[in-house]
Amino acid sequence: MKRILLFVLSTILLMFLWASMALFGTVDGWFHQPIARSKTPAPFLKAVNGEMNKQFVGNFAMAVMKNGNVEHEKFYSAGKPVDKNTVFQVSSLSKWISAVGIMKLVEDGKLDLDVPVSNYLTRWQLPPSKFNSEEVTVRRLLSHTAGLTDGLGYSGFEKGTPVQSIEQSLTKAADADEGISGEVRVGVKPGSEFKYSGGGYTLLQLLVEEVSGKSFASYMKENVFIPLNMLHSSYVWQDSSRFALAEFYNSDGSKAGHYRYTSLAATSLYTSLADLELLFQAFLKGKNNEPIGRNVLKPETLVKMREPHGKSMGVDIWGLGTVLYATTAGNDFIIGHDGKSTPPINTAVRLNPETGDGIIVLETGDPALATKLASEWVFWRTGKVDTFLFPMLIDEMLWTIGIGWVVIILTTVLLRALYQRER
């Protein structure tokens, strides 16, 4: 009986060790092959073409950056042609740019990162809860650590449907994604954990309007877009705009509608590849010795934006408005943001502030292609599995664990049978 128990315990231990090795191996990229074998651009671009051929893509615009400069651009459209000046709605990528504008207010002394947001608000306040709303600060809203449990996720409003006011949306968003309450409230202790909150950025949008005395779109245009020469960018789209808007598609290739949002800061930025290249360069020292931040933000503020604030499974994943995708050789972070919405819009930026290398991908018609390509770029360039690539590898990891467990169990059974036979 003791020997049987020993075999069982040994089997369980081996299974645990194998699962642990598979987990850590997946985190470290042991079982994942780079999208291209060579580090030269041509194989990567060929691999991008291969990924695009696997599914429907409506519109696609990509820039690969090298030393802060555009190394390659790629465009594709299933309908009207797109180019570097075509405007895309970029979904949650909006949050990163919104954070730039908010940090400008911090620099100007109009906002304090660690003062309760209630001190600045007159038009709306967080509803009472068992947690202390006075612990909700700008810092925590930017880093999704304010304890808000809305889980938003906005689906937007169809053309012709009235768009809610900010106050109405914060109370209960009528365009909340399916299964989401849409109520912005404090549901866990502020500062205790990372919980992604679109509602937190809508609250920041209101905060900007209260403090600046301007509409959020106007404030961002005057303080971010015009100084950076991002002249194709806006948080509000007008049908009479002189710029071309990328068409919207469903995954089956059919045309999709254009949705409007109350949640401008969280999800409604309209911008182009050319403008995002300028934003990318603003995080670095530019051409002709232009300063880091391009006189919009100070270099030390840009560094502060990528200091770790939010963790998941013990890993630093969020700064102040920016995702921390992977560590760099100098112990900094590859940063940026992704966007995803329905009908399928997927956008992604990865930026290595040490090298000036990175990638920008904007696309419609596929729910995950931009994120996949951007995360694969990180693995291809650095060998690091980034924050958004890891979830894509979970199925592969589970197969690895499952196959290993079958081998361990069969081997244990065989050894047990051989042991019994020898006796």
pLDDT digits (tens, 9 = 90+) for 120-159: 999 999 999 999 999 999 999 999 999 999 999 999 999 8
Give the pLDDT score at 179: 86
Check residue 386 and report its DSSP letter.
-
330-366, pLDDT tens digit by residue? 999 999 999 999 999 999 999 999 999 999 999 999 9
Find where tokens 């042609």 sit: 81
Q: 27-41: string of b/e by CB count within 10 Å (b at 16+)?
A: eebeebebbbeeeee
Residues pairing with 77 in the sheet: 59
pLDDT, position 130? 94
Report pLDDT for 238.
82
What's the residue count for the chain?
Answer: 423
What per-residue confidence (pLDDT) applies to 288? 65
pLDDT along the chain (423 residues), means of 10: 75 90 88 89 94 96 96 96 97 98 97 97 96 97 97 92 96 92 95 96 98 97 96 88 91 95 97 97 77 89 96 93 95 96 96 96 97 97 92 89 90 77 66
What is the side-by-side strand order in the sheet with 59-66? 69-77, 59-66, 358-364, 345-351, 333-341, 323-327, 315-318, 310-312
Cα-based angle 94, 264, 283 (whole degrees, multiple of 5)? 30
pLDDT at 287: 62
Distance CA 161, CA 16 (A): 54
Residue 116's nearest CA partner among 203, 209, 182 is 203
Give Cβ neighbours of residue 215 (< 8 Å, ≥ 6 apart).
209
3-state helix, strand, coil in the chain (%, to 5): 40, 15, 45
What pLDDT score was predicted for residue 75? 98
Helix (H) / strand (E) containing 311: strand 310-312
